[in-house]
Chains A and B, each alone.
Chain A
């Protein structure tokens, strides 16, 4: 059987744009897809640089919020570098939020995360927005919640590393409950 290339069945000219033709590429590939960027940046980037590269930003509504109402807030994690970064976290939980120092607005510790580390991965230049809502209540026991008192409350979010303040991997904002 004659190969299709040797036949005249295919036209390769500009007048017939839909006819199959040999691929002509004028530009060279800009990146090597076969190279895993995250694996290399994991090997080459010092931890200090990785921590510097990631910024944490927390925003919440400015105006007063009624007691018992939900308080939405948004955490933005951004990678400033044009390459992927990975930050090793203390437990599988990658980040945590607190209200007045109480994790997930709970005065009781109900978590027993496994004793293993995890990785917070951000792609090159990635901006990750995470929206959460605080119910405006504090968990005071395993099965009970209480409304937060009127006044100012501080919501803080931090990447789960040993000293997030020193690494600048934390941010806080205040909300006013009226």
Chain B
């Protein structure tokens, strides 16, 4: 069952030098209890996409379009009671809407037919020429036109769509988001030392969240904090409760951040490079803890990392990001044994291996493009060994590799390379060889 769905998320930063397109048209969904990985080089938009989930993008960044839907019945119910005027029923909207007027208003607002229908056949058409049954209310709302054309109120954020109800996080007021942050969706930040407040004791920082979200008394919150510190492996937790962050080692600080993230039993844990600054022993321990906690409490985990080893170890499904866009998504085993995108293959090839006899480490030539000036066509083409002329002129969609049909958020596999839409003449010619041939297969 889906817990969180990110749909066509676009985040831009308006800097003095130009507009940085940090995340562009990102869609994925996370199932309940699933461990989901986001992998890519530095600057691929991994952290920005994670921060967007909690609406923590700071100026000059703007979440320009898209939707983040949080399907948690408990939370929806509570919010429905607390914000009764902010509820929208999509069924009712569908029945009440006059499609012709809607199409006209959308045309006036500058919405494209392709965007509203999700069908490239209608690219460049006027919306009034598109059959009414092809228009989707959901896409109108996702495109951010809902309040512009008067379909919904600007503040509506609780959406009932048949028997599935969800909270639209990008529309939710700050008050509602504060109740979700740290409570329903928690985050393990990248740099523990920076994330912890140096003037409060670590115990207080954890118990503050518990008192705020769970209405615990001071004493109960302290007890729970000590329990949590113990759980994440802080020795003599009771004595260390009053210690300040500088009195902890890097690994322990990271554990404190994890304890803080787990303090309110979140439904989704967003871990932004939780082990990057740690040595391998601590890393292994923390990954083990995350896995145990996910299995024990059915918590979904979104793990953001550039370390493919961590991905292989922990997650079930992966999305590979490049220049703010998803280039491949797949279940973790398929990604490692049968990568489809040249970038993923390049990443796999650049993992150091002992005993292969190779003189030099294979790397992907070049660097990630400046996100102010993303190359035309496929943004990976300047670095791609298989790039052809078509790659400079055509931007590939995320498609299912077998069929070449556009991959939806719920599809398991998706790859954005022109090879899979039949636009490449030479094709991709990489071999994937696996030590255990029973599991792997060759891609010619």
| B-binding residues in A (CB < 8 A) | 68, 92-94, 108-109, 112-114, 118, 120-121, 128, 130, 132-133, 135, 137, 139, 141-147
Within 8 A of A (CB), among B71-113: 110, 112
The proximity string for B residues 112-134 relative to A, scoring 1 for CB distances below 8 Å and 0 otherwise, is: 10100000100110000000000
Q: Is the interface of B mostly helix, strand, loop or mixed?
A: loop
Q: A68-B392, A147-B393 are in contact. List 18 more A-B contacts (CB 8 A).
A: A92-B60, A92-B62, A109-B110, A112-B110, A118-B14, A121-B16, A128-B16, A130-B17, A135-B375, A135-B376, A137-B376, A139-B376, A143-B395, A144-B393, A144-B395, A145-B376, A145-B377, A145-B393
Which 3 pairs between the two chains have the least Cβ-Cβ distance? A92-B14, A143-B395, A145-B376
Shortest beta-carbon distance, A178 to chain B, in Å?
Answer: 19
Tell which of A120, A132, A145 touches B373, judged by Cβ atoms closer than 8 Å.
Answer: A132
CA distance A147 to B377 in the complex (A): 12
Q: Is the CB of B375 within 8 A of A114?
A: no
With known contacts A141-B123, A143-B395, A112–B64 Cβ distance under 8 A: yes
Q: In the complex, what residue of chain B is closest to A121 when comparing beta carbons? A: B16
Residues of B within 8 A of A137 (CB): 376, 392-393
Residues of A within 8 A of B392 (CB): 68, 135, 137, 145
- In the complex, 18 of the A-B residue pairs with CB atoms within 8 angstroms, ordered by the A residue number, are A92-B14, A93-B14, A94-B16, A108-B112, A112-B64, A113-B14, A118-B14, A130-B17, A135-B375, A135-B392, A137-B376, A137-B392, A137-B393, A139-B376, A142-B123, A143-B394, A144-B393, A145-B376
Q: In the complex, what residue of chain A is closest to B124 when comparing beta carbons? A: A141
Q: Is the CB of B373 within 8 A of A112?
A: no
Tell which of A112, A120, A133 touches B65, judged by Cβ atoms closer than 8 Å.
Answer: A112
Q: In the complex, what residue of chain A is closest to B63 when comparing beta carbons? A: A114
What total of A-B pairs shows CB separation below 8 Å? 57
Q: In the complex, what residue of chain A is closest to B123 when comparing beta carbons? A: A141
With known contacts A130-B18, A132-B18, A146–B60 Cβ distance under 8 A: no
Shortest beta-carbon distance, B411 to chain A, in Å?
Answer: 19
Residues of B within 8 A of A133 (CB): 373
Residues of B within 8 A of A120 (CB): 16
Residues of A within 8 A of B123 (CB): 141-142
Residues of A within 8 A of B114 (CB): 142
Tell which of A113, A130, A139 touches B64, judged by Cβ atoms closer than 8 Å.
Answer: A113
CA distance A139 to B110 in the complex (A): 18
CA distance A132 to B370 in the complex (A): 11
Residues of B within 8 A of A121 (CB): 16
**B397 within 8 A of partner (CB):** yes
Q: In the complex, what residue of chain A is closest to B397 when comparing beta carbons? A: A143
Residues of A within 8 A of B144 (CB): 112
Residues of A within 8 A of B62 (CB): 92, 114
CA distance A68 to B120 in the complex (A): 26
CA distance A146 to B373 in the complex (A): 17
CA distance A113 to B65 in the complex (A): 10
CA distance A113 to B144 in the complex (A): 12
CA distance A137 to B391 in the complex (A): 13
**B19 within 8 A of partner (CB):** yes
Q: In the complex, what residue of chain B is closest to A108 when comparing beta carbons? A: B112
Shortest beta-carbon distance, A135 to chain B, in Å?
Answer: 5
CA distance A146 to B376 in the complex (A): 10
Tell which of B16, B393, B395 touches A146, judged by Cβ atoms closer than 8 Å.
Answer: B393
